[in-house]
Amino acid sequence: MISLIRNEMMKIFSRASSWIYMLIIVAVVFLFGLVFRGDPILGKGTETTWDFMHISIMIGMLVTLFSVIVSSGNVAAEFSRGTIKQLLIRPHARWKILLSKYIAVTIYSFLLLLVLYLSSYLIGSILFEKAAFAASESFFQKAALYVPSLIISTAIAFMLSTLFRNQALAVGVGIFVLWISSTLNSLLILLMHKFAWVKLLIFSHMNLTVYATQPELISGVNLTFSIIVLSCYYFIFMLLTFFFFQKRDVSF
């Protein structure tokens, strides 16, 4: 399994786009830092490194976007290029091959997130005043709450990659789902007050960072409830992903 994962990581990093995504994140963090430092609205005049990192979590949308692009095209690209045939003739079970691909794209997603946080800290240390580590509590809380939505977004994109043979179509649908998720989130939270069933929809729980500032979305809908809902959807997505890949006919 380790060799399969290593091989999939090599495939990801053999593409120039995988490195370009990381460079884009660093560049955006730097530009965002310059704006945050000089903008009288965003800035307060006494900004610290942790203030900047707290705000830079908004750039996490880029991490999610790039993760979705890579995950959406991961399996679909093998079908588009015809390399899926060579992949499946190896002496490994299909589920192991698919699992190695999923683990690889998940690792890459977390590497993108690490690039975001490290570049935010380093650039923030250069542009702003340093602050005591105790001031970092709110940042780490939001950073931790961001992780579940990244995992779910990656899982959805990876599932789409196994369902579509066309890479462009898989990536396009993946990006569309991400856009729908970010667009509908606030609206669905409002609808929860009128319709109880809305709280069971996945898009109602894709932004867990709100729990850093409030204990509940509405009465009875707290962080634990959201995690349970997301976990159920995650299980369904993974079940569908592996089921369809196992059953998919590949003509040799």
| pLDDT tens column, 217-245 | 777 788 999 899 999 999 999 999 888 88
Assess whether pLDDT exceeds 50 at residue 195: yes
Q: Identify the DSSP state of 15.
A: S
Backbone φ, ψ for residue 193 (5° rounding): -70, -25
Q: What is the mean pLDDT of residues 174-202?
A: 77
Q: Is the pLDDT of residue 141 over 50?
A: yes
Average model confidence (pLDDT) across the chain = 81
Domain assignment of residue 252, yes or no: no
Whether 242 is covered by a domain: the verdict is: yes
| pLDDT recorded at residue 203 | 82
- Beta carbons within 8 Å of 175's beta carbon, 6+ residues apart: 65, 68, 69, 72
Taking 90 as the threshold, does the pLDDT of residue 107 lie above it?
A: yes
Nearest to 226 by CA among 193, 203, 245: 203
Contact in structure between 83 and 252 (CB atoms under 8 Å): no
Q: Lowest mean pLDDT: which of 25-34, 111-120, 199-208? A: 199-208
Contacts 24+ apart (CB under 8 A), 175-184: 175/65, 175/68, 175/69, 175/72, 177/68, 178/64, 178/65, 178/68, 178/153, 181/153, 181/206, 182/61, 182/206, 182/207
User: Within a domain: residue 128?
Assistant: yes
Residue 44 reports pLDDT greater than 60: no
For residue 155, give its domain range.
2-247
What H or E segment, with its residue span, contains residue 109? helix 94-127
In a domain, 195, yes or no: yes
Does residue 98 lie within any of the structural domains? Answer: yes
Q: Is the pLDDT of residue 252 over 50?
A: no
56 found inside a domain:
yes
Average pLDDT score over residue span 1-13 = 84
Q: Does any domain span residue 63?
A: yes
What total of structural domains would you count in the chain? Answer: 1
Residue 201 counted as domain residue: yes
